[in-house]
Amino acid sequence: MKIWIRYLSFFGLGIFLFITLISMAKSPEMIIEGEWKELAWEYEKADIKTFSSKASEDNDSSYIKDIAGQDLVIHKAEKWIFCPNGKLILKGENYTKEITWNIKGRGNILELKYDNNNIEHYSLTELENDKLILNFDTSAHTRGIARLTFEKVN
């Protein structure tokens, strides 16, 4: 009978520690709130050969960025401001747009909804207190994966 008490107490302690650790962790929604500055756009699997005749080597990246982001609003934004009420303000040079955001899945998918019912999904590759990395699959024109890197302003 004493062995059952040991097993139950060990199992109960494990559950207690698990619940304590989970409750102490910050949710991704709280970490992402605030103002983020866009640092870089990188292309992991960009098909440069397709664009070599259309762009010189110096501006391949900017040309691919324009092609990959032609249907996206956010590629023009320099600052993203995540508000706690699910609103996202995209600020660029002479440009401001307000959309809604939501974190889906297991906290690894950022969903952006525009007024025209257009929805974009981004993978939250890395989310820390001062660093945010988003990935998204670009269109068939570029056949690649774009990585957006941000740093928290406040």
pLDDT surpassing 80 at residue 60: no
pLDDT in tens, 9-43: 999 999 999 999 988 888 888 899 999 998 888 77
Domains of the chain: 28-152 (2.40.128.280)
pLDDT in tens, 100-117: 999 998 888 999 998 888
Contact 145, 45 (CB under 8 A): yes
DSSP conformational letter for 134: E
Look up residue 42 and give its amino acid.
E
Q: What is the Cα–Cα distance from 85 to 16, expressed in whole angstroms?
A: 32
Q: What is the Cα–Cα distance from 97 to 88, expressed in whole angstroms?
A: 8
- Work out the burial of residue 72: count CB atoms within 10 Å of its CB; fewer than 13 is exposed, 13-18 middle, 19 or more buried: middle
Greater model confidence, 152 or 93: 152
pLDDT in tens, 65-100: 555 555 554 556 689 999 999 999 988 888 888 999
Looking at the chain, list the stretches that DSSP marks H as alpha helix, in order from N- to C-terminal side. 2-24, 28-32, 48-51, 60-68
**DSSP run (H or E) holding 153:** none
Q: Is the full-model pTM beyond 0.85? A: no
Q: Which two tokens stand for residue 101?
A: 């955001």
Dmax (CA) for the chain in angstroms is 79
Beta-ladder partners of 89: 81, 98
